[in-house]
Every structure is written in C-alpha cells, then in structure tokens.
C-alpha cells in the first residue's frame, strides 16, 4: 500500500559548490509533486550554497551532520543523531549520494529501521579506493535498488560492485528547457560583446571544474593543434577548481593565451553558452551524465565529447555533435576543423541537440521517473528496472 505522502530522506556527502550532483538533487526535490512527496536532506559536509538556500526557502529541512572521518568518536556521535532522526520520522525511503552516504550513512539508516534504501550512482567509479569497492560490495545487500545516471555508468558500476541488474534502473539527468533556450540574435551578440568576442569569431567553450578527471589538458592541446588553421578561434573556459591557476599559467606560455577567456565559477552559465559556437567535454575517465552537456544542448550548442560515461548517450554522434576517443587531442582538433568548415551543418547539429533534449532529457521526465521508482518501492518493495 502506497502511503498518502511518501517521506524521503536524502543523504549526501558534501554540499559546497553548485556542481552536477548538487544541482540534480535540488532539481529533483523541487520537481517532485509536494502533495505526494515530502523531502528532507542530511549533508555530512555543508557550506554556504545558494542551492541549499533555495531548498530552505521552499521549506525543505536541511540537517548538517558534520561527520568528518568515519572512524573517530565524532562520527559515532553523528551516527547516533542520524539514527535518531530516522527513527523519529520513520522515512519511507532513504536515498544516498556519494561514498560516505553509500556506506556509513546507509549502514546507519538500515540499523535505524529505514524502510527502503536507494543509492544514486553519479559516475563510473574509477576514482574509488580499493577499500570503497570492498565496502560497496559488502553493503550492496542493504539497498532495494540503485539509480544510475546513464547506461555507461550502470555497466561500469554493476561490474565493479557486482550488483544484480534486477535492482538497477537508469534515469538521466534533466534540464530546464524553458530556461536554457537558444539565444536570439540580440542575446547572442550581447553575450559575445560582454566577453570581448565578435560575431565573426569561432568560439569554442568548455564548462567544467578544473579537476584532473576533466582533462583540460586534452581540451587545450586539441585547441592548440587546430589554432593555426582557425584564425578566428576564441576559447571560453567556464569553471573554477584547484587546477585553474595551473592551466592559466601553462597556457600563458603559448599563443593560445591571447585567444582564451577564463570565466571562473559563474552564478549564471546561460549567457556564456549563448556566446559559444561549439561546446566540449573531454574527460578521460570517471564521468557520469553531464548537466553542462545537456544545458549546452538545450541552448542549441553542438558538442564534441569523449566517449566516457554517459557522454555517448547524451550526444548523438554525427547528429548533435561528435563523440571522440578519450585522451585524443588530435581527434578533438579534427572535429573542431570539421565543424568550423561546415557552418550550416553545425547549425543543424545545434537544432538537433535542442530537439534531443526536449525529447529525452527534460526535468519533467527525470522527476516523473524518480516518482515512479519511489512509488514502486513503497508498493512492491522492488525497483521498476529499466534502461533508457
């Protein structure tokens, strides 16, 4: 029997930045029908964040339990607080995000009597330590199901954690296709002018945090190879992170520096997307299903992405952009030259990218699929089980 209102507690390791998982969680909570679902969030490491403030304004309880390391006395105190919270509210579903929530948090939730446990897997898991793999395998039986963000993620995690495919379901991220829309001519011109670009420039952008797994090295190497044949090339790098200064310094010694704008972290990415002719994402491993990619697609930007994680599921190769091998700067350079030479084809790819988002990656579909999972768990105790 389905409860009149399903109570869900989301456990997440950290909430400092407006990254993909954080954005997804806020979109999911705000997109679930409030008359059918009541949500709360426990964060193990919280910081000032506009997304958390948005949830608070909507009346969603945000509980900060600063766990730190799992093997010290403070972790036992926080475990007791979490267990008391779960016992008091008798949540129908506890859903976990990231490693600490998947192990420490899940074990506490199970011991406290949580009715159903679900894990949301956001990447292919190559960065996990051997201990994490060991724990995931040992604790997999606690979960009623696993929500994967892409089939590529599902294939990797099922093999690594030795999961039963009957308890796995793929649900892609969604994008607000009303807010993220192609620009008018005036919007495009204004976005470019603000960044110092002209209408004649060929602007190639990447929206990603400067972290090792995003492989900005490949991005800049591919651009450097293509640059001699592209006198109108301009580069737009959106995102902050620990490697930003390193890449700025490295690029400063090359001719590409004068063509590049480092925007850093931005509050509103949309005007930056409107300035782009082509978007890129070049991870070499450990990718999930990029919000940045589908936001660019919604804005009518064709993509060049590496065949990692869910990238080949987001970008239809040859239709909405190009999917290239990982760590292949030469392939990136060639794809850039091809797209530059065929302006009408590039524009057609942008229109097709927009149409693909509307058909497959809407926020409404993402939230409806999660609601279907939650209802099925409370009705039958099992996952619907589907690949998209």
Cα–Cα distance for residue pair 302/298, rounded to 1 Å: 10
Rounded distance between C-alpha atoms, residue 91 and residue 34, angstroms:
15
Could you tell me if 10 and 74 lie in one domain?
yes
Looking at the fold, whether 268 and 338 belong to one and the same domain comes out as yes
Please count the structural domains in the chain: 2
268 and 334 within one domain: yes
Rounded CA-CA distance 191/197 in Å is 8
Q: Which pLDDT score, from 0 to 100, does residue 2 have?
A: 66
The confidence score (pLDDT) of residue 184 equals 98
- At residue 103's C-alpha, the angle toward residues 211 and 10, to 5°, is 80
The tokens for 371 are 């609601």
Residue 318 belongs to a domain with what CATH number?
3.40.50.2000
Range of the domain at 291: 185-360
Q: Give a yes or no: residue 211 inside a domain.
A: yes
- Phi/psi of residue 74, each to 5°? -60, -35
Whether 148 maps to a domain, the answer reads yes
Do residues 313 and 326 share a domain? yes
Residue 233 shares a structural domain with residue 350: yes
Instruction: Write out the two tokens for 34.
Output: 């409030």
pLDDT of 51:
87
Q: Are residues 157 and 252 in the same domain?
A: no
Q: Is residue 1 part of a domain?
A: no
Q: Using DSSP bridges, classify how beta strands 168-170 and 202-207 pair: parallel, antiparallel or unpaired.
A: unpaired
Long-range contacts of 334-343 (CB under 8 A, 24+ apart): 334/226, 335/304, 336/204, 336/222, 336/223, 336/226, 336/230, 336/278, 336/304, 337/226, 337/229, 337/230, 339/277, 339/278, 339/302, 339/304, 340/202, 340/226, 340/230, 340/233, 340/277
Provide the strand spans (E) within 256-331.
Answer: 260-264, 278-281, 303-306, 321-324
Same domain, 261 and 375: no
Same domain? For 163 and 289 the reply is no
Could you tell me if 229 and 274 lie in one domain?
A: yes
Judge whether 237 lies within some domain. Answer: yes
Predicted confidence at residue 1, as pLDDT, reads 58
Task: Report yes or no: 269 and 293 within 8 Å, Cβ to Cβ.
Answer: no
By C-alpha distance, which of 176, 177, 168 is closest to 149? 168
Token pair 């990603």 is found at: 208
Whether residue 39 is contained in a domain is answered as: yes
pTM, two decimal places? 0.92
Specify whether 198 is located in the same domain as 274. Answer: yes
Q: Are strands 303-306 and 37-46 parallel, antiparallel or unpaired?
A: unpaired
- Cα-based distances in Å from 138 to 112, 146, 163, 306: 19, 15, 11, 32
Q: Is 386 among the domain residues? A: no
Same domain? 376 vs 355? no
| Paired residues of 235 in beta bridges | 204, 260
Interatomic CA distance for residues 189 and 261, integer angstroms: 17
Q: How far apart are CA 33 and CA 54, in angstroms?
A: 17
**Domain membership flag for residue 243:** yes
Question: Do 127 and 288 meet the contact criterion of CB atoms below 8 Å apart?
Answer: no
The partner residues of 303 in beta bridges, in order of sequence, read 279, 321
Residues of the chain with pLDDT under 50: none
Contact 6, 374 (CB under 8 A): yes
User: Looking at the structure, do residues 189 and 93 belong to the same domain, yes or no?
Assistant: no
Inter-residue contact 284 to 332 (CB < 8 Å): no
Residue 51 within any structural domain of the chain? yes
């Amino acid at each position: 029997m389905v409860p009149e209102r399903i109570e869900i507690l989301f456990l997440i390791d950290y909430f400092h930045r407006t990254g993909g998982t954080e954005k997804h969680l806020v979109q999911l909570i705000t997109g679930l029908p409030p008359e059918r679902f009541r949500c709360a969030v426990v964060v193990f490491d919280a910081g000032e964040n506009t997304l958390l403030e948005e949830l608070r304004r909507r009346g969603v309880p945000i509980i900060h339990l600063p766990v730190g390391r799992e093997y010290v006395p403070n972790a036992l105190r926080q475990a007791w607080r979490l267990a008391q919270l779960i016992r008091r509210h008798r949540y129908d579903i506890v859903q976990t995000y990231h490693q600490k929530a998947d192990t420490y948090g899940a074990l506490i939730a199970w011991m406290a009597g949580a009715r159903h446990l679900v894990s949301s897997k956001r990447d292919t898991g190559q960065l996990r330590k051997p201990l994490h793999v060991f724990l995931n395998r040992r604790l997999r039986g606690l979960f009623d199901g696993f929500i994967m963000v892409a089939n590529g993620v599902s294939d990797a995690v099922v093999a690594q954690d030795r999961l039963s495919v009957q308890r796995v379901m793929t649900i892609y991220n969604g994008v607000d296709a009303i807010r993220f829309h192609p620009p008018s001519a005036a919007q495009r011109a204004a976005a470019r002018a603000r960044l110092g670009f002209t209408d004649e420039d060929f602007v190639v952008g990447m929206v990603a945090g400067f972290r090792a797994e995003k492989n900005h090295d490949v991005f800049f190497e591919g651009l450097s190879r293509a640059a001699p044949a592209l006198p109108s090339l301009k580069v737009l790098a959106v995102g902050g992170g620990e490697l930003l200064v390193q890449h700025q310094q490295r690029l400063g010694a090359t001719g590409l520096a004068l063509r590049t704008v480092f925007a850093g972290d931005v509050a509103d990415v949309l005007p930056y997307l409107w300035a782009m002719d082509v978007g890129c994402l070049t991870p070499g491993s450990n990718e999930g299903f990029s919000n940045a990619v589908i936001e660019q697609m919604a804005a009518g930007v064709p993509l060049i992405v590496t065949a990692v994680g869910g990238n080949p599921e987001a970008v239809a190769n040859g239709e909405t952009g190009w999917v290239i091998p990982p760590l292949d700067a030469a392939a990136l350079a060639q794809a850039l030259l091809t797209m530059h030479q065929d302006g009408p084809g590039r524009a057609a790819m942008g229109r097709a990218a927009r149409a693909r988002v509307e058909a497959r990656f809407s926020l409404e579909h993402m939230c409806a699929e999660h609601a279907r999972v939650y209802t099925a768990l409370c009705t039958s105790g099992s996952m619907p089980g589907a690949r998209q």
